[in-house]
Amino acid sequence: MILGFNESFIPLIVAGTKVHTIRAGQRWQAGQVAQFCARAGQPDQYEFWPPKPIRLVQTIELTANEILVDGRPLVPAEALALAQADGFANFAELLAFFAGQPLPFQGQLVHWTDCRY
Protein backbone atom coordinates (compact mmCIF):
# COMPACT_ATOMS: atom_id res chain seq x y z
CA MET A 1 0.00 0.00 0.00
CA ILE A 2 1.15 3.50 -0.72
CA LEU A 3 2.23 5.63 2.23
CA GLY A 4 2.47 9.16 0.89
CA PHE A 5 4.63 11.86 2.44
CA ASN A 6 5.24 15.56 2.16
CA GLU A 7 8.67 15.89 0.54
CA SER A 8 9.98 17.85 3.52
CA PHE A 9 9.85 14.62 5.57
CA ILE A 10 11.94 12.53 3.15
CA PRO A 11 15.39 13.39 4.59
CA LEU A 12 14.13 12.63 8.12
CA ILE A 13 12.73 9.24 7.10
CA VAL A 14 15.86 8.25 5.19
CA ALA A 15 18.08 9.42 8.09
CA GLY A 16 16.02 7.34 10.54
CA THR A 17 14.85 10.24 12.71
CA LYS A 18 11.21 10.06 11.54
CA VAL A 19 10.22 6.55 12.57
CA HIS A 20 6.43 6.65 12.29
CA THR A 21 3.60 8.66 10.82
CA ILE A 22 0.16 9.79 11.92
CA ARG A 23 -2.70 8.96 9.57
CA ALA A 24 -6.43 9.57 9.59
CA GLY A 25 -8.74 6.59 9.31
CA GLN A 26 -8.20 2.95 10.11
CA ARG A 27 -6.69 1.53 6.90
CA TRP A 28 -3.28 0.39 8.19
CA GLN A 29 -2.53 -2.95 9.85
CA ALA A 30 0.68 -4.51 11.12
CA GLY A 31 2.23 -6.74 8.49
CA GLN A 32 1.16 -4.68 5.50
CA VAL A 33 3.99 -3.54 3.27
CA ALA A 34 4.25 0.23 2.85
CA GLN A 35 5.58 1.85 -0.30
CA PHE A 36 7.15 5.16 0.74
CA CYS A 37 6.09 7.70 -1.88
CA ALA A 38 6.17 11.43 -2.45
CA ARG A 39 3.56 13.20 -4.54
CA ALA A 40 1.21 10.25 -3.96
CA GLY A 41 -1.65 10.09 -6.41
CA GLN A 42 0.00 12.56 -8.79
CA PRO A 43 1.38 11.76 -12.25
CA ASP A 44 4.91 12.43 -10.95
CA GLN A 45 4.56 10.17 -7.87
CA TYR A 46 7.80 8.45 -6.90
CA GLU A 47 9.14 6.02 -4.32
CA PHE A 48 11.95 7.49 -2.26
CA TRP A 49 12.72 4.54 0.04
CA PRO A 50 12.48 0.75 -0.24
CA PRO A 51 9.17 -0.83 0.82
CA LYS A 52 9.01 -1.75 4.50
CA PRO A 53 6.57 -3.85 6.51
CA ILE A 54 4.45 -2.01 9.05
CA ARG A 55 5.47 -3.37 12.45
CA LEU A 56 2.81 -1.83 14.68
CA VAL A 57 -0.27 0.35 14.43
CA GLN A 58 -1.47 2.25 17.50
CA THR A 59 -4.55 4.43 17.86
CA ILE A 60 -3.83 8.12 18.33
CA GLU A 61 -5.94 11.08 19.37
CA LEU A 62 -4.74 14.67 19.25
CA THR A 63 -6.51 17.34 21.24
CA ALA A 64 -5.57 20.99 21.68
CA ASN A 65 -3.19 20.14 24.51
CA GLU A 66 -2.45 16.42 24.63
CA ILE A 67 -1.81 13.20 22.73
CA LEU A 68 -3.42 9.93 23.62
CA VAL A 69 -1.92 6.70 22.27
CA ASP A 70 -4.02 3.57 22.63
CA GLY A 71 -6.23 5.63 24.96
CA ARG A 72 -3.37 6.58 27.30
CA PRO A 73 -2.48 10.28 27.67
CA LEU A 74 1.22 10.86 27.13
CA VAL A 75 3.14 12.86 29.73
CA PRO A 76 4.83 15.98 28.31
CA ALA A 77 8.21 14.26 27.82
CA GLU A 78 6.52 11.42 25.88
CA ALA A 79 4.53 13.90 23.77
CA LEU A 80 7.76 15.70 22.89
CA ALA A 81 9.47 12.40 22.02
CA LEU A 82 6.54 11.39 19.80
CA ALA A 83 6.50 14.77 18.03
CA GLN A 84 10.25 14.59 17.40
CA ALA A 85 10.06 10.97 16.20
CA ASP A 86 7.34 12.11 13.78
CA GLY A 87 9.59 14.81 12.28
CA PHE A 88 8.64 17.88 14.31
CA ALA A 89 10.74 20.04 16.63
CA ASN A 90 8.10 20.01 19.39
CA PHE A 91 4.47 19.25 20.20
CA ALA A 92 3.29 22.74 19.17
CA GLU A 93 4.79 22.24 15.70
CA LEU A 94 3.02 18.88 15.38
CA LEU A 95 -0.31 20.49 16.36
CA ALA A 96 0.28 23.29 13.84
CA PHE A 97 0.73 20.68 11.09
CA PHE A 98 -2.71 19.29 11.95
CA ALA A 99 -4.31 22.75 12.26
CA GLY A 100 -6.56 22.08 9.26
CA GLN A 101 -8.06 19.02 10.93
CA PRO A 102 -10.92 19.36 13.39
CA LEU A 103 -9.93 18.43 16.94
CA PRO A 104 -9.95 15.99 18.46
CA PHE A 105 -8.17 14.26 15.59
CA GLN A 106 -8.41 10.49 15.73
CA GLY A 107 -6.38 8.14 13.62
CA GLN A 108 -3.47 5.75 13.55
CA LEU A 109 0.18 5.95 14.51
CA VAL A 110 1.86 3.79 11.86
CA HIS A 111 5.28 2.35 12.84
CA TRP A 112 7.91 0.85 10.54
CA THR A 113 10.47 0.53 13.36
CA ASP A 114 10.40 -0.92 16.89
CA CYS A 115 9.39 2.43 18.43
CA ARG A 116 6.44 2.10 20.85
CA TYR A 117 4.46 4.38 23.18
Q: At 37, which CATH number?
A: 2.30.130
- CB distance 82 to 117 below 8 Å: yes
In a domain, 41, yes or no: yes
Task: Write the single-letter amino acid at 32.
Answer: Q
In a domain, 24, yes or no: yes
Q: Is 111 helix (H, G, I), strand (E, B) or coil?
A: strand
In a domain, 116, yes or no: no
In a domain, 44, yes or no: yes
d(CA 6, CA 77): 26
Mean pLDDT of the chain: 96
Closest among 43, 42, 40 to 1, alpha carbons compared: 40
- This prediction has a pTM of 0.95
Q: Structurally, how many domains does the chain consist of?
A: 1
In a domain, 91, yes or no: yes
Summarised one tens digit per residue, pLDDT across range 29-78 is 999 999 999 999 999 999 999 999 999 999 999 998 889 999 999 999 99
In a domain, 82, yes or no: yes
Query: How far, CA to CA in Å, does 8 sit from each of 13, 18, 77, 98, 106?
Result: 10, 11, 25, 15, 23
Among residues of the chain, what percentage have pLDDT more than 70? 100
